[in-house]
């Protein structure tokens, strides 16, 4: 039984789809995880698909539906499967930015219809909410470790300037708590999605057809998610996109389409 995994995010670097498919693949006997080419040259991907029995595609939700770059690939895949009389089981790992994993349900219905049209077998899906936050918090332990180490180094340097330095005292100071708290938060908030992804991966490796399941952050209510997500996007706006804080409050611009203001 040959299984291929595709990370169909449009991002250049690390993606949330890639992260989720990696977690699920711990329980799958997946041959390889490949990235969907951004240059629309799908020949290599189709070559790999020629002898598979199962395909797992991980993709983000764009405007409540399938992203256009994935749609292009699916159109190509459909004609390839029909021309070559190729059929396999398709599993989906969908993720979205909003809190509820159920937001992906329309896209999953679209993919179910695609399977019917391309004569593929729909194996089932997992829809993950708060994808951007779950994807980011995987770095919290690393960030916590770096902060803790820097705090220890600074404390050691300051202590070295004292007349009788007490390095044991510095070593026992609770700077490690930053690392512990950040690791704890990652485990607490991610454990439900990890569990569901691992169960999904197990179902794929057992070639089972499963019904769509949905998940999101664990032990993080929606009101807390909104606060954390808002702070995160403000920080991104300022530090990544280099825009001023007030940009968010600017009035919407009027766009003109075919001579009409929209």
Ligand X SMILES: Cc1cc2nc3c(=O)[nH]c(=O)nc-3n(C[C@H](O)[C@H](O)[C@H](O)COP(=O)(O)O)c2cc1C
The site for ligand X (CB under 6 A) is made up of 9, 11, 15-17, 60-64, 95-98, 103, 131-132, 135
Q: Which is nearer to ligand X, 25 or 103 (by Cβ)? A: 103
Q: Please state, in angstroms and rounded to a whole number, the distance separating the CA atoms of residues 234 and 158.
A: 34
Taking the C-alpha atoms of 120, 124, 130 and 136 in order, what is their torsion angle to the nearest 10 degrees?
-70
Whether residue 143 contacts residue 185, with contact meaning beta carbons closer than 8 Å, is answered with no
Q: Which is nearer to ligand X, 182 or 216 (by Cβ)? A: 216
- Total residues belonging to the chain: 262
Using the structure block, give the residue that is written with the tokens 């509820």. 100
- Residue 249 beta carbon to ligand X: minimum distance, rounded to whole angstroms: 21
- Residue 121 beta carbon to ligand X: minimum distance, rounded to whole angstroms: 24
- Residue 216 beta carbon to ligand X: minimum distance, rounded to whole angstroms: 11
Q: Which is nearer to ligand X, 86 or 243 (by Cβ)? A: 243
- Residue 78 beta carbon to ligand X: minimum distance, rounded to whole angstroms: 22
- Residue 63 beta carbon to ligand X: minimum distance, rounded to whole angstroms: 5
Q: List C-alpha distances in Å: 133 to 80, 85, 136, 203.
A: 36, 40, 5, 26
- Residue 185 beta carbon to ligand X: minimum distance, rounded to whole angstroms: 19
Q: Which is nearer to ligand X, 87 or 105 (by Cβ)? A: 105
- Residue 20 beta carbon to ligand X: minimum distance, rounded to whole angstroms: 8
Q: Which is nearer to ligand X, 123 or 127 (by Cβ)? A: 127
CB atoms within 10 A of CB 172: 10
CA-nearest of 226, 254, 16 to 134 is 16
Q: Which is nearer to ligand X, 71 or 147 (by Cβ)? A: 71
Q: List C-alpha distances in Å: 212 to 67, 107, 128, 215.
A: 19, 12, 11, 10
Q: Which is nearer to ligand X, 4 or 81 (by Cβ)? A: 4
In DSSP terms, 93 is beta-bridged to 58, 126
Q: Which is nearer to ligand X, 4 or 96 (by Cβ)? A: 96
Using the structure block, give the residue that is written with the tokens 């996007």. 233
- Residue 230 beta carbon to ligand X: minimum distance, rounded to whole angstroms: 15
């Amino acid at each position: 039984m040959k299984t291929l995994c595709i990370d169909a995010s449009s991002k250049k670097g690390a993606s949330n789809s890639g992260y989720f498919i990696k977690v699920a693949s711990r329980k799958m006997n997946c041959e390889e995880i490949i990235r969907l080419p951004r240059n629309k040259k799908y020949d290599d991907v189709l070559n790999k698909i020629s002898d598979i029995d199962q395909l797992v595609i991980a993709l983000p939700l764009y405007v409540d539906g399938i992203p256009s770059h994935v749609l292009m690939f699916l159109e190509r895949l459909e004609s390839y499967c029909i021309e070559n009389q190729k059929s396999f089981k398709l599993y989906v790992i969908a993720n979205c930015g909003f809190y509820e994993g159920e937001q992906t349900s329309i896209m999953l219905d679209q993919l179910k219809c695609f399977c019917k049209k391309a004569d593929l077998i729909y194996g089932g899906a997992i829809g993950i909410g708060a994808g951007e936050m779950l994807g980011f918090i995987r770095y919290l332990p690393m960030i916590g470790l770096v902060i803790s180490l820097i705090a220890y180094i600074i404390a050691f340097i300051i202590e070295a300037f004292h007349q009788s330095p007490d390095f044991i005292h510095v070593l026992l100071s609770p700077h490690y708590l930053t690392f512990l708290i950040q690791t704890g938060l990652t485990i607490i908030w991610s454990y439900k999605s990890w569990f569901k992804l691992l169960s999904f991966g197990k179902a794929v490796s057992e070639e089972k057809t499963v019904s769509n399941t949905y998940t999101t952050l664990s032990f993080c209510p929606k009101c807390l998610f909104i606060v954390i997500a808002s702070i995160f996007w403000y920080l991104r706006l300022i530090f990544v996109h280099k825009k001023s804080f007030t940009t968010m409050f600017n009035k919407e611009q009027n766009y003109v389409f075919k001579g009409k203001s929209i």
